[in-house]
Amino acid sequence: MPSHLTPPEPVLLTVIGRDHPGIASRLTGQLAEAGAELLDIEQVVVQDRLTLCLLVRLPEKGDVLKELLFAAHELGVVLEFQTVPVPGSKPVPSSNRHVVTVVGRKLGAREVHAVTECLAGHLANIERIQRLTETELGSVEFHISLPAGRDPEELKRALLELSMASNTFDVALQRESLYRRSKRLVVMDMDSTLIRIEVIDELARVHGVGEQVSRITERAMQGEMDYDESLRQRVALLKGLDSRVLRDLSSNLPLTEGAETLIPVLKRLGYRTAIISGGFSVAAEALKDRLGIDYAHSNMLEEADGKLTGRTLGPIVNAKRKAELLESIAQAEGILLDQVIAVGDGANDLLMLEKAGLGIAFRAKRKLRQAADTSISSGGLDTILYLLGLTGRELLEARPPPAGTLDRRSSG
Protein backbone atom coordinates (compact mmCIF):
# COMPACT_ATOMS: atom_id res chain seq x y z
CA MET A 1 0.00 0.00 0.00
CA PRO A 2 1.41 3.44 -0.84
CA SER A 3 2.72 5.22 2.25
CA HIS A 4 0.66 8.33 1.57
CA LEU A 5 -2.54 6.28 2.13
CA THR A 6 -1.44 5.03 5.56
CA PRO A 7 -3.05 7.13 8.29
CA PRO A 8 -0.51 8.84 10.54
CA GLU A 9 -0.09 7.51 14.07
CA PRO A 10 -2.24 9.24 16.71
CA VAL A 11 -0.54 11.80 18.92
CA LEU A 12 -1.41 12.23 22.59
CA LEU A 13 -1.29 15.90 23.58
CA THR A 14 -1.04 16.51 27.33
CA VAL A 15 -1.61 20.07 28.56
CA ILE A 16 -0.59 20.92 32.14
CA GLY A 17 -0.79 24.20 34.02
CA ARG A 18 -2.95 26.64 35.95
CA ASP A 19 -6.57 26.39 34.90
CA HIS A 20 -8.24 29.42 33.36
CA PRO A 21 -10.91 30.02 30.69
CA GLY A 22 -10.00 29.69 27.03
CA ILE A 23 -7.41 26.89 27.08
CA ALA A 24 -9.54 24.17 25.47
CA SER A 25 -11.14 26.70 23.12
CA ARG A 26 -7.79 27.96 21.77
CA LEU A 27 -6.21 24.53 21.29
CA THR A 28 -9.22 22.78 19.78
CA GLY A 29 -9.72 25.80 17.50
CA GLN A 30 -6.23 25.36 16.10
CA LEU A 31 -6.77 21.64 15.65
CA ALA A 32 -10.01 22.29 13.80
CA GLU A 33 -8.42 24.93 11.58
CA ALA A 34 -5.59 22.55 10.69
CA GLY A 35 -8.03 19.75 9.86
CA ALA A 36 -6.79 17.45 12.63
CA GLU A 37 -8.93 14.46 13.66
CA LEU A 38 -9.90 14.44 17.36
CA LEU A 39 -10.08 10.83 18.63
CA ASP A 40 -10.46 11.31 22.39
CA ILE A 41 -10.47 14.04 25.05
CA GLU A 42 -10.31 14.06 28.85
CA GLN A 43 -9.76 16.85 31.38
CA VAL A 44 -9.38 17.03 35.15
CA VAL A 45 -8.75 20.00 37.43
CA VAL A 46 -7.27 19.50 40.91
CA GLN A 47 -6.75 22.57 43.11
CA ASP A 48 -6.77 24.88 40.04
CA ARG A 49 -4.18 22.72 38.26
CA LEU A 50 -5.33 21.53 34.86
CA THR A 51 -4.49 18.33 33.03
CA LEU A 52 -6.07 18.19 29.57
CA CYS A 53 -5.44 15.22 27.27
CA LEU A 54 -6.33 15.20 23.58
CA LEU A 55 -5.74 12.21 21.34
CA VAL A 56 -5.48 13.48 17.77
CA ARG A 57 -4.44 12.40 14.32
CA LEU A 58 -2.57 15.34 12.82
CA PRO A 59 -2.49 16.20 9.10
CA GLU A 60 0.73 15.36 7.30
CA LYS A 61 1.05 18.86 5.86
CA GLY A 62 1.84 21.90 7.95
CA ASP A 63 3.55 22.28 11.31
CA VAL A 64 0.57 21.93 13.63
CA LEU A 65 2.65 20.86 16.64
CA LYS A 66 4.80 23.97 16.43
CA GLU A 67 1.70 26.16 16.32
CA LEU A 68 0.17 24.27 19.28
CA LEU A 69 3.37 24.68 21.32
CA PHE A 70 3.38 28.41 20.60
CA ALA A 71 -0.28 28.70 21.61
CA ALA A 72 0.38 26.77 24.84
CA HIS A 73 3.22 29.16 25.69
CA GLU A 74 0.92 32.14 25.20
CA LEU A 75 -1.71 30.48 27.40
CA GLY A 76 0.84 29.91 30.18
CA VAL A 77 0.61 26.10 30.10
CA VAL A 78 2.97 23.27 29.18
CA LEU A 79 2.15 21.02 26.22
CA GLU A 80 3.74 17.59 25.95
CA PHE A 81 3.19 15.17 23.05
CA GLN A 82 3.97 11.61 22.09
CA THR A 83 2.82 9.18 19.41
CA VAL A 84 0.74 6.28 20.69
CA PRO A 85 -0.66 3.08 19.15
CA VAL A 86 -3.96 3.25 17.33
CA PRO A 87 -6.76 2.98 19.96
CA GLY A 88 -8.29 -0.49 20.21
CA SER A 89 -11.62 -0.83 18.50
CA LYS A 90 -12.95 -3.45 20.96
CA PRO A 91 -14.44 -1.78 24.05
CA VAL A 92 -14.38 -3.34 27.51
CA PRO A 93 -17.71 -5.18 28.06
CA SER A 94 -20.04 -3.33 30.42
CA SER A 95 -20.20 -6.41 32.65
CA ASN A 96 -16.47 -5.91 33.38
CA ARG A 97 -16.82 -2.23 34.29
CA HIS A 98 -17.35 -1.37 37.94
CA VAL A 99 -17.28 1.58 40.29
CA VAL A 100 -15.55 1.43 43.68
CA THR A 101 -16.77 4.12 46.09
CA VAL A 102 -14.73 4.84 49.21
CA VAL A 103 -16.31 6.96 51.96
CA GLY A 104 -14.72 7.93 55.28
CA ARG A 105 -14.52 10.76 57.77
CA LYS A 106 -11.25 11.79 56.15
CA LEU A 107 -9.35 9.72 53.61
CA GLY A 108 -5.58 9.91 53.47
CA ALA A 109 -2.72 8.28 51.60
CA ARG A 110 -2.87 5.18 53.81
CA GLU A 111 -6.57 4.54 53.05
CA VAL A 112 -6.26 5.24 49.33
CA HIS A 113 -3.18 3.03 49.11
CA ALA A 114 -4.99 0.16 50.85
CA VAL A 115 -7.82 0.33 48.31
CA THR A 116 -5.61 0.72 45.24
CA GLU A 117 -3.34 -2.10 46.42
CA CYS A 118 -6.41 -4.34 46.76
CA LEU A 119 -7.53 -3.38 43.25
CA ALA A 120 -4.10 -4.11 41.82
CA GLY A 121 -4.04 -7.48 43.56
CA HIS A 122 -7.23 -8.41 41.70
CA LEU A 123 -5.86 -7.12 38.36
CA ALA A 124 -8.39 -4.27 38.28
CA ASN A 125 -7.37 -1.46 35.96
CA ILE A 126 -8.20 2.02 37.28
CA GLU A 127 -9.55 4.06 34.37
CA ARG A 128 -10.68 7.15 36.24
CA ILE A 129 -10.57 8.56 39.78
CA GLN A 130 -13.06 11.20 40.88
CA ARG A 131 -13.29 13.05 44.16
CA LEU A 132 -16.91 13.33 45.32
CA THR A 133 -16.69 15.52 48.43
CA GLU A 134 -16.14 19.25 48.13
CA THR A 135 -13.92 20.20 51.08
CA GLU A 136 -12.00 17.44 52.89
CA LEU A 137 -11.17 14.26 51.00
CA GLY A 138 -14.10 12.24 52.35
CA SER A 139 -15.25 10.25 49.32
CA VAL A 140 -13.48 9.03 46.21
CA GLU A 141 -14.86 7.08 43.26
CA PHE A 142 -12.66 4.69 41.24
CA HIS A 143 -13.92 3.61 37.81
CA ILE A 144 -12.30 0.27 37.07
CA SER A 145 -12.35 -2.56 34.55
CA LEU A 146 -11.73 -6.21 35.39
CA PRO A 147 -10.12 -8.77 33.09
CA ALA A 148 -12.44 -11.10 31.20
CA GLY A 149 -13.47 -14.04 33.35
CA ARG A 150 -12.51 -12.33 36.61
CA ASP A 151 -15.22 -12.79 39.25
CA PRO A 152 -16.19 -9.39 40.76
CA GLU A 153 -17.46 -11.23 43.87
CA GLU A 154 -13.86 -12.00 44.81
CA LEU A 155 -12.99 -8.32 44.66
CA LYS A 156 -16.14 -7.41 46.59
CA ARG A 157 -15.22 -9.79 49.40
CA ALA A 158 -11.67 -8.48 49.51
CA LEU A 159 -12.83 -4.86 49.71
CA LEU A 160 -15.31 -5.79 52.45
CA GLU A 161 -12.56 -7.45 54.50
CA LEU A 162 -10.39 -4.38 53.97
CA SER A 163 -13.17 -2.09 55.20
CA MET A 164 -13.92 -4.24 58.24
CA ALA A 165 -10.25 -4.43 59.18
CA SER A 166 -9.84 -0.66 58.88
CA ASN A 167 -13.13 0.39 60.52
CA THR A 168 -12.42 3.96 59.38
CA PHE A 169 -13.96 3.90 55.91
CA ASP A 170 -16.63 2.12 53.89
CA VAL A 171 -16.01 0.79 50.42
CA ALA A 172 -18.60 -0.36 47.88
CA LEU A 173 -18.27 -2.17 44.57
CA GLN A 174 -21.06 -1.66 42.03
CA ARG A 175 -21.32 -2.69 38.42
CA GLU A 176 -21.31 0.37 36.20
CA SER A 177 -24.62 0.27 34.41
CA LEU A 178 -27.52 2.39 33.29
CA TYR A 179 -29.23 1.89 36.66
CA ARG A 180 -26.41 2.83 39.03
CA ARG A 181 -27.26 6.51 38.92
CA SER A 182 -30.94 6.04 38.12
CA LYS A 183 -32.29 4.46 41.28
CA ARG A 184 -35.87 5.61 42.01
CA LEU A 185 -36.95 3.90 45.26
CA VAL A 186 -35.18 3.57 48.62
CA VAL A 187 -36.63 1.09 51.12
CA MET A 188 -35.38 1.07 54.72
CA ASP A 189 -35.70 -1.00 57.83
CA MET A 190 -36.63 1.08 60.85
CA ASP A 191 -35.15 -0.18 64.14
CA SER A 192 -31.35 0.25 64.34
CA THR A 193 -31.38 1.50 60.75
CA LEU A 194 -33.53 4.60 60.28
CA ILE A 195 -33.60 5.10 64.05
CA ARG A 196 -30.88 4.37 66.62
CA ILE A 197 -32.97 2.19 68.93
CA GLU A 198 -35.02 -1.01 68.93
CA VAL A 199 -38.54 0.08 69.87
CA ILE A 200 -39.48 -3.30 71.36
CA ASP A 201 -36.45 -3.19 73.67
CA GLU A 202 -37.42 0.26 74.92
CA LEU A 203 -41.02 -0.82 75.58
CA ALA A 204 -39.83 -3.97 77.34
CA ARG A 205 -37.50 -1.96 79.56
CA VAL A 206 -40.32 0.37 80.64
CA HIS A 207 -42.57 -2.65 81.29
CA GLY A 208 -39.92 -4.39 83.37
CA VAL A 209 -39.42 -7.33 80.96
CA GLY A 210 -36.28 -6.17 79.24
CA GLU A 211 -34.14 -9.18 80.14
CA GLN A 212 -36.78 -11.70 79.05
CA VAL A 213 -37.21 -9.98 75.68
CA SER A 214 -33.43 -9.84 75.17
CA ARG A 215 -33.11 -13.58 75.83
CA ILE A 216 -35.76 -14.38 73.22
CA THR A 217 -34.09 -12.04 70.72
CA GLU A 218 -30.75 -13.79 71.30
CA ARG A 219 -32.31 -17.24 70.73
CA ALA A 220 -33.78 -16.04 67.45
CA MET A 221 -30.43 -14.60 66.35
CA GLN A 222 -28.76 -17.95 67.13
CA GLY A 223 -31.28 -19.74 64.91
CA GLU A 224 -32.97 -21.55 67.82
CA MET A 225 -36.34 -19.90 67.04
CA ASP A 226 -37.88 -18.49 63.87
CA TYR A 227 -38.70 -14.81 63.61
CA ASP A 228 -42.49 -15.14 63.78
CA GLU A 229 -42.41 -17.16 66.99
CA SER A 230 -39.83 -14.87 68.58
CA LEU A 231 -41.99 -11.82 67.78
CA ARG A 232 -45.12 -13.47 69.25
CA GLN A 233 -43.31 -14.33 72.48
CA ARG A 234 -41.76 -10.88 72.85
CA VAL A 235 -45.03 -9.06 72.12
CA ALA A 236 -46.84 -11.30 74.62
CA LEU A 237 -44.50 -10.01 77.33
CA LEU A 238 -45.75 -6.45 76.61
CA LYS A 239 -49.32 -7.32 77.61
CA GLY A 240 -50.80 -4.67 79.90
CA LEU A 241 -48.38 -1.87 78.93
CA ASP A 242 -50.11 1.51 78.71
CA SER A 243 -50.48 2.46 75.03
CA ARG A 244 -49.37 6.00 75.85
CA VAL A 245 -45.84 4.70 76.43
CA LEU A 246 -45.72 3.51 72.80
CA ARG A 247 -47.09 6.81 71.49
CA ASP A 248 -44.82 8.95 73.62
CA LEU A 249 -41.79 6.97 72.48
CA SER A 250 -42.87 7.12 68.83
CA SER A 251 -43.28 10.89 68.92
CA ASN A 252 -39.60 11.45 69.67
CA LEU A 253 -37.65 8.65 68.02
CA PRO A 254 -33.88 9.28 67.75
CA LEU A 255 -32.91 9.34 64.08
CA THR A 256 -29.76 7.65 62.89
CA GLU A 257 -26.90 9.93 61.84
CA GLY A 258 -27.39 11.10 58.28
CA ALA A 259 -31.14 10.38 58.10
CA GLU A 260 -32.06 14.06 58.24
CA THR A 261 -29.84 14.65 55.20
CA LEU A 262 -30.69 11.51 53.26
CA ILE A 263 -34.49 11.69 53.25
CA PRO A 264 -34.92 15.38 52.25
CA VAL A 265 -32.33 15.03 49.46
CA LEU A 266 -34.00 11.88 48.13
CA LYS A 267 -37.39 13.62 48.18
CA ARG A 268 -36.02 16.68 46.40
CA LEU A 269 -34.50 14.49 43.70
CA GLY A 270 -37.83 12.74 43.13
CA TYR A 271 -37.09 9.41 44.80
CA ARG A 272 -39.87 7.41 46.44
CA THR A 273 -39.12 6.21 49.96
CA ALA A 274 -40.52 3.48 52.18
CA ILE A 275 -40.17 1.96 55.64
CA ILE A 276 -40.56 -1.82 55.69
CA SER A 277 -40.04 -2.92 59.26
CA GLY A 278 -40.55 -5.81 61.62
CA GLY A 279 -41.17 -3.12 64.24
CA PHE A 280 -44.46 -1.49 65.12
CA SER A 281 -46.83 0.60 63.04
CA VAL A 282 -47.30 3.44 65.55
CA ALA A 283 -43.59 4.20 65.37
CA ALA A 284 -43.35 3.66 61.60
CA GLU A 285 -46.32 5.95 60.88
CA ALA A 286 -44.87 8.63 63.16
CA LEU A 287 -41.62 8.54 61.18
CA LYS A 288 -43.53 8.53 57.91
CA ASP A 289 -45.32 11.76 58.87
CA ARG A 290 -42.25 13.36 60.42
CA LEU A 291 -39.92 12.77 57.46
CA GLY A 292 -42.42 12.79 54.59
CA ILE A 293 -41.78 9.15 53.69
CA ASP A 294 -44.15 7.74 51.07
CA TYR A 295 -44.86 4.25 52.45
CA ALA A 296 -44.71 2.56 55.85
CA HIS A 297 -45.36 -1.15 56.46
CA SER A 298 -44.82 -2.80 59.83
CA ASN A 299 -46.48 -4.90 62.54
CA MET A 300 -49.60 -3.58 64.23
CA LEU A 301 -49.94 -4.05 67.98
CA GLU A 302 -53.44 -4.82 69.25
CA GLU A 303 -54.80 -2.45 71.90
CA ALA A 304 -57.78 -2.66 74.21
CA ASP A 305 -58.88 -0.20 76.92
CA GLY A 306 -55.75 1.88 76.42
CA LYS A 307 -53.35 -1.03 76.93
CA LEU A 308 -51.44 -3.48 74.76
CA THR A 309 -53.04 -6.92 74.61
CA GLY A 310 -49.81 -8.79 73.88
CA ARG A 311 -50.91 -9.68 70.35
CA THR A 312 -50.39 -8.35 66.83
CA LEU A 313 -52.97 -7.81 64.12
CA GLY A 314 -52.61 -8.91 60.50
CA PRO A 315 -49.73 -10.73 58.83
CA ILE A 316 -46.35 -10.54 60.52
CA VAL A 317 -43.78 -8.51 58.59
CA ASN A 318 -41.05 -11.15 58.48
CA ALA A 319 -38.20 -11.60 56.00
CA LYS A 320 -40.42 -13.06 53.28
CA ARG A 321 -43.09 -10.39 53.78
CA LYS A 322 -40.47 -7.61 53.57
CA ALA A 323 -39.29 -8.83 50.17
CA GLU A 324 -42.89 -9.11 48.95
CA LEU A 325 -43.71 -5.58 50.12
CA LEU A 326 -40.63 -4.17 48.39
CA GLU A 327 -41.68 -5.79 45.12
CA SER A 328 -45.28 -4.64 45.56
CA ILE A 329 -44.27 -0.99 46.08
CA ALA A 330 -41.92 -1.09 43.08
CA GLN A 331 -44.70 -2.49 40.88
CA ALA A 332 -47.20 0.11 42.12
CA GLU A 333 -44.73 2.90 41.30
CA GLY A 334 -43.70 1.41 37.95
CA ILE A 335 -40.09 1.07 39.13
CA LEU A 336 -37.75 -1.76 38.08
CA LEU A 337 -36.17 -3.80 40.88
CA ASP A 338 -32.76 -2.77 39.48
CA GLN A 339 -33.76 0.79 40.44
CA VAL A 340 -34.47 -0.09 44.08
CA ILE A 341 -32.15 0.33 47.06
CA ALA A 342 -32.88 -1.65 50.24
CA VAL A 343 -31.19 -0.86 53.56
CA GLY A 344 -31.26 -3.01 56.68
CA ASP A 345 -29.24 -4.30 59.59
CA GLY A 346 -30.54 -7.77 60.51
CA ALA A 347 -31.06 -11.27 59.17
CA ASN A 348 -34.74 -10.38 58.78
CA ASP A 349 -33.67 -7.93 56.02
CA LEU A 350 -31.67 -10.37 53.91
CA LEU A 351 -34.39 -11.34 51.41
CA MET A 352 -35.34 -7.68 50.99
CA LEU A 353 -31.72 -6.76 50.28
CA GLU A 354 -31.40 -9.59 47.77
CA LYS A 355 -34.56 -8.50 45.97
CA ALA A 356 -33.32 -4.92 45.44
CA GLY A 357 -30.94 -3.77 42.73
CA LEU A 358 -28.62 -2.53 45.50
CA GLY A 359 -28.82 -4.13 48.95
CA ILE A 360 -26.98 -2.24 51.70
CA ALA A 361 -26.15 -3.77 55.09
CA PHE A 362 -26.14 -0.83 57.52
CA ARG A 363 -24.03 -1.26 60.66
CA ALA A 364 -24.94 -4.92 60.46
CA LYS A 365 -23.56 -8.21 61.72
CA ARG A 366 -20.78 -9.80 59.66
CA LYS A 367 -23.06 -12.43 58.09
CA LEU A 368 -25.40 -9.83 56.57
CA ARG A 369 -22.50 -7.64 55.45
CA GLN A 370 -21.02 -10.56 53.55
CA ALA A 371 -24.35 -11.38 51.89
CA ALA A 372 -25.31 -7.82 50.92
CA ASP A 373 -24.15 -5.99 47.80
CA THR A 374 -22.34 -3.52 49.99
CA SER A 375 -22.21 -2.31 53.57
CA ILE A 376 -21.97 0.90 55.56
CA SER A 377 -20.40 0.72 59.02
CA SER A 378 -18.33 3.82 59.68
CA GLY A 379 -20.54 6.45 58.04
CA GLY A 380 -24.13 7.60 58.44
CA LEU A 381 -27.15 6.99 56.23
CA ASP A 382 -26.19 9.92 54.01
CA THR A 383 -23.28 7.78 52.78
CA ILE A 384 -25.90 6.22 50.48
CA LEU A 385 -25.96 9.44 48.47
CA TYR A 386 -22.31 8.97 47.50
CA LEU A 387 -23.04 5.38 46.44
CA LEU A 388 -25.52 6.90 43.98
CA GLY A 389 -22.61 8.79 42.43
CA LEU A 390 -23.69 12.21 43.70
CA THR A 391 -20.93 14.73 44.36
CA GLY A 392 -20.69 17.12 47.28
CA ARG A 393 -21.57 20.00 44.96
CA GLU A 394 -24.70 18.19 43.79
CA LEU A 395 -25.70 17.45 47.38
CA LEU A 396 -25.46 21.14 48.25
CA GLU A 397 -27.80 21.91 45.35
CA ALA A 398 -30.22 19.14 46.33
CA ARG A 399 -30.51 20.02 50.02
CA PRO A 400 -33.73 21.91 50.76
CA PRO A 401 -33.20 25.47 52.04
CA PRO A 402 -33.60 26.14 55.78
CA ALA A 403 -37.17 26.65 56.93
CA GLY A 404 -38.39 30.19 56.36
CA THR A 405 -35.95 31.02 53.55
CA LEU A 406 -36.81 31.60 49.90
CA ASP A 407 -35.73 28.82 47.58
CA ARG A 408 -34.74 30.71 44.41
CA ARG A 409 -34.19 27.45 42.52
CA SER A 410 -37.91 26.64 42.59
CA SER A 411 -39.35 30.14 42.52
CA GLY A 412 -40.82 31.62 39.36
CA distance 143 to 217: 42
Angle in degrees, CA 272, 273, 276, rounded to 5: 140
| Strands, sheet with 374-376, edge to edge from the N-terminal-most edge strand | 307-313, 295-304, 272-280, 185-188, 340-344, 358-362, 374-376
Concerning whether 151 is annotated as a catalytic residue, the answer is no
User: Is residue 15 within 8 Å of residue 77, measured between CB atoms?
Assistant: yes
Catalytic residue (choose from 19, 48, 170, 189): 189
Q: Is 382 a catalytic residue?
A: no
One-character DSSP codes across 327-374: HHHHHHHT--GGGEEEEE-SGGGHHHHHHSSEEEEES--HHHHHHSSE
Q: Rounded to an integer, what distance in angstroms lies between the CA atom of residue 146 and that of residue 119? A: 9
| Closest by CA position to 193, among listed 17, 368, 361 | 361
- The tally of CA atoms less than 13 A away on the side-chain side of residue 275 is 29
Catalytic residue among 191, 345, 373, 382: 191
- In DSSP terms, 256 is beta-bridged to none
The contacts of residue 203 (CB under 8 Å, 6+ apart) are 238, 241, 245, 246, 249
Phi–psi pair at 177, nearest 5 degrees: -150, 175
| Alpha carbons 337 and 327: distance in angstroms, whole number | 7
Q: Is 72 exposed, middle or buried (0-12, 13-18, 19+ CB in 10 A)?
A: buried
| Residues 379, 381, 383: CA angle, nearest 5 degrees | 60
The identity of residue 11, as a single letter, is V
Beta strand 97-104 pairing with 139-145 = antiparallel
Task: List residues with catalytic annotation.
Answer: 189, 191
